[in-house]
Amino acid sequence: MADIGAFISGCAGLSLSEAEASFFSRTRPWGLILFKRNCETPDQIKALTTSFRAAVGRKDAPVLIDQEGGRVQRLGPPSNFWRAYPPARSFGTLFEKDALTALRAARNIGRLMAEDLKDLGINVNCVPVLDVPQPDAHEVIGSRAYSSGRDQIMALARAHVAGFLDGGVLPVIKHIPGHGRARADSHLTLPVVEASRKELAAHDFPPFAAFADAPMAMTAHVVYTALDKEAPATLSAKVIGQIIRKQIGFNGLLMTDDLSMKALSGSYEERTLRALKAGCDVVLHCNGDMAEMAEVAAAAGPLKGKSLRRARLALKMARKPQRFDRKAAFKDLEVLVTG
């Protein structure tokens, strides 16, 4: 059997073009990530995920999405096919009034969201956001964070993730080791965080350490001057080796955030090689540009060694969807949406 490529790719539209299907068949990326441009109707998405898995020759090939709720949800309005889900911060707001109800709602709504995804052939969701936002930080995280308190984030994220796992959907914790202090949007430029290692260890790292057993994590395109003065976490062997793997203790599959974000510079070959050399297991390229995809695939090469083992272990953490009380879940959703 041909090697699996050490990358996750996007695609351009609602279905695979002949060129994309041929490319995926040759390069066999580990996974596919979907965006709004790829999502129109349930039947269309099912056909897309099925065709991707047929192209790569793996029925369990991961299909990922960013379905957080709030302003980051690829399935939702204005489409009539999917519900609008509240942002993670809504759970934190409820937690301040009624902690037990908030925890139940986080789990129930995670389970509802998982049902939406699983029915479409999507088996990985890029949640939870474990970043601890600071008052002077850029709004790119904002309401995507469950709370401004690390302990509340850990509790609510654990409940939310339990709902996804109950629904057969694997989580990706992000953005390790923490994007909450960034004063810039890494989609547009490279953020530089000047907090001390002691501050980071006390406030930013704990939520990620609490999820050290997660199957997958996504890096932050952020420079932490106390850890590595030059390279962002995604490209830093120091941050990945000393902080993510050792201090935080995460040993699951580590993927980059999107390589096409403007926080990174250099060719796509350079970005890919630097990320893998630093210790990332797979690279993520999202925009569906075929020329860029080809450059990433060629540089990434095959998934092998520890990275291949981590990838296999991550997928083994998936379980069959569990029964749940849909009526209670919808009631919790109504409470959160209406306030």
Indicate if 43 belongs to the active site: no
Catalytic-labelled residue, pool 3, 43, 187, 213: 187
Indicate if 257 belongs to the active site: yes
Cα separation of 217 and 214, whole Å? 7
Cα separation of 289 and 9, whole Å? 10
The CA distances from residue 330 to 55, 78, 95, 176, in Å, are 37, 20, 18, 31
Helices 99-118, 326-338: axis angle to 10 degrees equals 110
Which residues are CB-neighbours of 6 under 8 A, at least 6 positions away? Answer: 30, 276, 281, 282, 283, 300, 301, 302, 303, 304, 307
Torsion-angle region of 111 (φ positive above 0: left; ψ -120 to 50: alpha; else: beta): alpha
Tokens of 192: 């530089």
Contact (Cβ atoms closer than 8 angstroms) between residue 186 and residue 154: no
Catalytic-labelled residue, pool 257, 258, 281, 332: 257
Indicate which residues carry an active-site annotation. 187, 257
